[in-house]
Amino acid sequence: MSDMPLPFAVVPRGANTNTAPVAPLTDADRKPLTKKDVSADHPTWCPGCGDFSVLALYFKLIEKRRMHHEKITTVAGIGCSSRFPYFVQAHGAHFIHGRALPFASGVALSRPDLHVFVFGGDGDAFSIGGNHFTHTARKNVKLTYVVMDNNVYGLTKNQTSPTSPVGFKSKTDVWGAKDRPINPIKQAIFAGATFVARTTSTNPNHLLAMMEQAMDHDGFGFIQVLSECVEFYPGAFDNSTPRKGGVFAEVPKEHDVTDEYAAYRLGEELSPGKFGVFYKVQRPTKNANEAAIIADYQSKVAGLPPWQILKKSFDRMK
């Protein structure tokens, strides 16, 4: 048997720098977290940006659902809306452009005790991150994905986005956009998302209700939030905003949310479109499927410490 010395010994557990242990909190000690407890940096968004409302309702959700502070997990990619984690006083990750979903999947799959919220914009979700959107949806990874859709690239200052309507004038389409925009609702249903909802930053109660339902859904929950960019696409969603003379039309009560084709048809209209839950079904999550594989394999090696499981493998290689 070889006793080869290793130059770098394993760092012992709890060896984080600059930390000192504290006593655990009991549930009785906990109070609902207020906006004051969970707000961090002042948002970098322009005054009047729709994203403020999404942030405010995320705080509301945290308070209402009495989330434990340390369990709040906020992940984002790159974009105006993706600055989200800096504004939330909780564990957060600001990852690279378009890859928030695979990053969040890594957290969700390895940490079933956490519910991960992912925030981002239409470019992050449907352009650079389009492939990840499809696969995270089809694998049904348990997490909530809130896409703040403003139909334009805001952080980079006014370029055509994958959801910009035909005719929209931007710096990259001065003559008006020519390409057919993505329909996020149809895209999500087609990809295999198991919870698909549409809401708007101008209707707080509806937005909160959608976030709550997505959070309670056991699977990949997708919410498209219309969130106006007052700087580069003002008035984009006026036709669904009653105080601007638009019509806020909810998904009809009689709509069967488990009917994929009905949901697809209902999602056909891009603007103003309907609001509410289009599609909601139960399908085994990636998390549950992996847990089942693990349970099955672990039952075969029940009670053995890791080194003995490995020893069994090595014994077959002699």
Partner 1 sequence: MSDAAVAAPSGGQPPVSSIAEAVIRIAGNSQDGIQAIGGFLARLAGRSEQEVMTFMTIPSTISGGPSIFQVRIGSGEVLSAGDDADMLLAFYDHSYTSHINSLKKGGIVLYDSDHLKPEAIPAENLAKYRHVGVPISSLTVEAIGGTGRDKGKNVFALGLLAKMFDLNVPKLHRLLQERFTGKDPKIAETAVNAFNYGYNYNLATAPELFRFKPGENVGQSQVVMSGNEALAYGLIAAGVRFGAGYPITPWSDIMELLRRELPKYGGQFQQCEDEIASVSMAIGASWGGRVAVTGSSGPGISLKTEAIGWAVMAEMPLVVVDVQRGGPSTGMPTNVEQSDLNIAVYGGHGDSPRVVIAPATVEDCFYTAIEAVNIARKFSTPVIILTDQGIASRIEAFPEPNLEKVVQDISPDFTAVTDHKPYDLAAPGGVTRHIAPGTRVASGKYPVVTGLEHDELGHPTGSPKLHVAMTAKRRNKLKALAAEIPTPEIYGPSEGKVLLVSWGSAKGPVQEAVKQARAAGLAVSGLHIKHISPLPNGLEKAFEGFSKVFVVELNDEGLVGIGQLGALLRARYPNTRFEGVNKSDGLTWKVREILDRIRPATA
Q: Does 41 bind partner 1 (CB under 8 A)?
A: yes
Considering only 32, 34, 66, 70, the residue that binds partner 1 (CB under 8 A) is: 70
Classify 176 in phi/psi space as left (phi over 0), alpha (psi -120 to 50) or beta. left
What is the C-alpha radius of gyration for the chain, rounded to an integer number of angstroms? 22
CA–CA gap between residue 69 and residue 169 (Å, rounded): 43
Contact stretch for partner 1 (CB under 8 A) within 192-200, 210-218, 262-270, 307-315? 307-315
Q: Does 262 bind partner 1 (CB under 8 A)?
A: no
Cβ neighbors of 67 (< 8 A, separation 6 or more) are 33, 61
Q: Does 27 bind partner 1 (CB under 8 A)?
A: no
Q: Does 65 bind partner 1 (CB under 8 A)?
A: no
CB 49, min distance to partner 1, A: 18
CB 181, min distance to partner 1, A: 23
Q: Does 247 bind partner 1 (CB under 8 A)?
A: no
Q: Does 43 bind partner 1 (CB under 8 A)?
A: no
Considering only 24, 47, 245, 303, the residue that binds partner 1 (CB under 8 A) is: 24
Give, as ranges, the residues between 1 and 20 that touch partner 1 (CB under 8 A): 1-4, 6-11, 13-20
Residue 82 · residue 119 · CB < 8 Å: yes
The amino acid at residue 26 is T
CB 137, min distance to partner 1, A: 11
Considering only 47, 245, 303, 306, the residue that binds partner 1 (CB under 8 A) is: 306
What pairing do the DSSP bridges indicate for beta strands 159-160 and 152-153?
A: antiparallel
Considering only 45, 58, 59, 103, the residue that binds partner 1 (CB under 8 A) is: 103
* Token code pair at residue 34: 């207020």
In the shown chain, the binding pattern of residues 131 to 160 toward partner 1, with x for contact by CB under 8 A and - for none, equals: xx-xx-------------------------
CB 37, min distance to partner 1, A: 6
Considering only 66, 111, 157, 244, the residue that binds partner 1 (CB under 8 A) is: 111
Q: Which is nearer to partner 1, 132 or 280 (CB)?
A: 132
3-state secondary structure of 72: strand
Chain centroid, CA 153 distance in Å: 19
What is the separation, in whole angstroms, between the first and last Cα of the chain?
13
Considering only 62, 75, 189, 210, the residue that binds partner 1 (CB under 8 A) is: 75
Q: Does 166 bind partner 1 (CB under 8 A)?
A: no
* Token code pair at residue 236: 């984009």
Query: Please, which contacts does 280-285 make with residues 24 or more away whose CB atoms are closer than 8 Å?
Result: 280/194, 280/195, 280/196, 280/213, 280/217, 281/194, 281/257, 282/194, 282/218, 282/219, 283/140, 283/192, 283/194, 283/219, 284/140, 285/140, 285/141, 285/142, 285/218, 285/219, 285/220
Considering only 32, 106, 235, 284, the residue that binds partner 1 (CB under 8 A) is: 106
Beta-carbon count within 10 A of 217 CB: 22
Q: What are phi and psi of 106, to 5 degrees?
A: -60, -40
Q: Does 90 bind partner 1 (CB under 8 A)?
A: yes
Q: Does 175 bind partner 1 (CB under 8 A)?
A: no
In the shown chain, the binding pattern of residues 263 to 302 toward partner 1, with x for contact by CB under 8 A and - for none, equals: ---------------------------x--xx-xxx-xx-
